[in-house]
Structure 1
Amino acid sequence: MARPLRFRYSPQSWSDGRVHNDILQPLRSNIGARAVTPWFAIGGDWQSHRFEMDNGDVALFARADDEAYWMGNTETPSSLWKTDKFGWREVPHHVSRWAKRELTATLHEESPWLADYPHLSWFFLPVFMSKDGRDSTRSFFSEHAAGFPDTGSREATRFFEDFLRTGVLDEYRHVMSGKLGTSTHVDRVRMSAAMAEFIAAKILTDAGYDVVPEIEVTTGHSLDFRAEDDDTNVLVEVTRPQPPGTRAAAGPVAAVRDTAETKTNGQLAEHGGGATLFVDCSSFRDDAWSAVRGEQPDVRHRPAIVYRARPDGRVEGYRKGGVPLEFGDALEFLD
């Protein structure tokens, strides 16, 4: 499976002839590539190239006197196989800005509805335009409402657009966008679990905390977030029960118990305590959540919160144990 888009770096000089012979010709022979005029100017001392393939793939190449960068959702020419890869923040500004503009415009031409969500388009660009995941990741938002039940795709997508527009996760874009994956098919359960981390980050941010994802702990694991303010430093792990209709458990209460128990007996047990467990029931329909909110089942971990978010921004839930976080209006507690 191809990973989210990154740049390949060539610390060599590239002439027009070399670009033609070592990039265009192999791609033309293999998948019907053609060189087209880039849609945007790159600026600086860079020269830019855009390649489009018969199968819909696209690739970009930027070169200066003695270095070049390649990015594409297509096969990589053999002349660039052994090159190092770099993230969007690690390459020259002219190159990253140009690639963003080229790929975003391509994305919006292929999926015009995403133009209404500019920050979400940018944040998930590495997977929306990836080789394997471009169809599945877009479909997850457009056809599966990003994992929210009983709502439209526009309401769900707007929820995440509004949060991502705050910029609080921009620094962690590569690792967080990559959580959506680049599978060729929509895995709603796994992808919804990934979006649960974004919901948790939104709750913590709305509550006034700074969030840092992927916190390595001494057991060799990573916990999902550290929530911080002047007086607080709390580790948070997120889990998302599957809706009862898609799993073997007898009902929604059992779904919450079983999923939380798996997390508690596994990763959190090895960590040895000290983390707050977030149990996100945002995939549950109204009737399933009603059963959970009525019984408020134990989750065999302290401290924990069990909650359900809706695309209109409302979040309600309950606590187990002394949760070392204050949520204010970010979460309406049933207790």
Structure 2
Amino acid sequence: MAGPLRFRHSTQRWSEDRVRRDLLSPLQNRFGATMNGPWFAPPEGWAARRLEMDNGDLALFVWNGQEAYWMGNTETPETLWRTDKYTFDEVTDPIAEWGERELLAQLEVEDPWLADYEHVAQFFLPVFLSKDGRESTRTFFRDHAGGFPDASREAGLRFYDDLLATGVLDDYRYTMASKLGTSQGFDLSRMQATMGEFNVAKLLADAGNDFEPEVELGSGHAIDFRVEDTLVEVTRPRPPSRRQVNTGIAAVKASGDAKTRDQLAAHPGAVLVVDATSFADDEWRRVLGERPDVGYQPLVVFRYRPDGSVEGYSHGSIPFPLPFS
């Protein structure tokens, strides 16, 4: 399975003739392909081409006299197989900015409704234009409001656009964006669970906490967040109608129980955070009214709505502030 878009870096010399021979020709034979000029001027001293396949795949190639960069959501030509891969943050700013302009413009042509939300489009660009995840990730925001129940596409996109506009996740772009997935298969529950980590990032940021996501530990586990010296593990139960348990209260308890038997058993003292954002209003009211525990503390249970409002409760001592009492 292909991952999120990255640049491949070639240290060989390239020319227009070599691009046609070693890149365009194998792609023409494989998919049918045309080579065109870029939509935006490349950095000074560089030449660039767009390679567009008949099946909708796209590749960008930019070169000067000493090196070259390739980025594409298509099959990589053999001559570039052994090249190293780099994220947007790992290449020079002029190359990264040119590549992003080309890809954002492509996204705007294909899905203008998505490109209108510039922070979502830019942050998730490595998966929105990825080889295997482009359809599934766009479908998630288009048809499922980014995981919000009973909400419009526009409301869900505004929520995440506002979160990403703050920049609190900029340093973790590839880590977090990749969690949404680069698989051709559409898995709503997994994508909703991924966005639970974005919701917790907002929960922490709204209360003024500094945090680090995806913390690798010596135990072999990866914990979702660290807030100063406190580990935070996130779970997002599916709505009751989609599982054997048939109430929100039971779903919260079952979801928490699964976590306490795995990661949290190895890391006592970590805070368990249950994101109930997938719950409809009536189920959430029951949960908030009863404030169920899960047999583990410290525990936080919360739900966001697309307007940015949040409600929740906690059990045990939470060693960092929350945006609700």
TM-score with structure 1 length normalisation? Answer: 0.95
Q: Which residue of 2 aligns with 1:218?
A: 218
Task: Output the amino acid matched with 1:279.
Answer: V
Q: Which residue of 2 aligns with 1:185?
A: 185
Q: Which residue of 2 aligns with 1:297?
A: 292
Task: Give the one of 281, 293, 310 matched to 1:286.
Answer: 281
User: Hey, what's the Cα distance between the residues in 2 that align with 1:89 and 1:137?
Assistant: 22
Q: Which residue of 1 aligns with 2:312?
A: 317
1:22 deviates by 0.4
1:44 deviates by 2.4
Q: Which residue of 1 aligns with 2:240?
A: 244
1:324 deviates by 1.1
Q: Which residue of 1 aligns with 2:137?
A: 137
Counting only pairs closer than 5 Å after superposition, residues 18-37 of structure 1 correspond to structure 2 as 18-37=18-37
Q: Which residue of 1 aligns with 2:78?
A: 78
User: Hey, what's the Cα distance between the residues in 2 that align with 1:302 and 1:45?
Assistant: 59
User: Hey, what's the Cα distance between the residues in 2 that align with 1:141 and 1:166?
Assistant: 20
1:219 deviates by 0.7
Q: Secondary structure of the equivalent of 2:286?
A: helix
1:294 deviates by 2.0
User: Hey, what's the Cα distance between the residues in 2 that align with 1:131 and 1:19?
Assistant: 21
Q: CA RMSD, aligned part only?
A: 1.1
User: Hey, what's the Cα distance between the residues in 2 that align with 1:114 and 1:319?
Assistant: 36
1:168 deviates by 1.1
Alignment pair present for 1:7 and 2:7 = yes
1:132 deviates by 1.1
Q: Percent identity?
A: 54
The runs of 5 or more residues in structure 2 that have no matched partner are: none
The runs of 5 or more residues in structure 1 that have no matched partner are: none
User: Hey, what's the Cα distance between the residues in 1 that align with 2:116 and 2:60?
Assistant: 25
Alignment pair present for 1:259 and 2:255 = yes
TM-score with structure 2 length normalisation? Answer: 0.97
Tell me the alpha carbon deviations over residues 286-317 of structure 1, each in whole angstroms, 9 at most, x when there is no partner: 12112211221111221111111111111111
User: Hey, what's the Cα distance between the residues in 1 that align with 2:161 and 2:185?
Assistant: 23
Q: Secondary structure of the equivalent of 2:261?
A: helix
Q: Secondary structure of the equivalent of 1:294?
A: helix
Moved over 4 A (4+): none
- Between 101-110 and 213-222, the greater mean CA deviation after superposition: 213-222
Task: Output the amino acid matched with 2:300.
Answer: I
Q: Secondary structure of the equivalent of 2:51?
A: strand
Q: Which residue of 1 aligns with 2:117?
A: 117
1:106 deviates by 0.3
User: Hey, what's the Cα distance between the residues in 2 that align with 1:188 and 1:249?
Assistant: 18
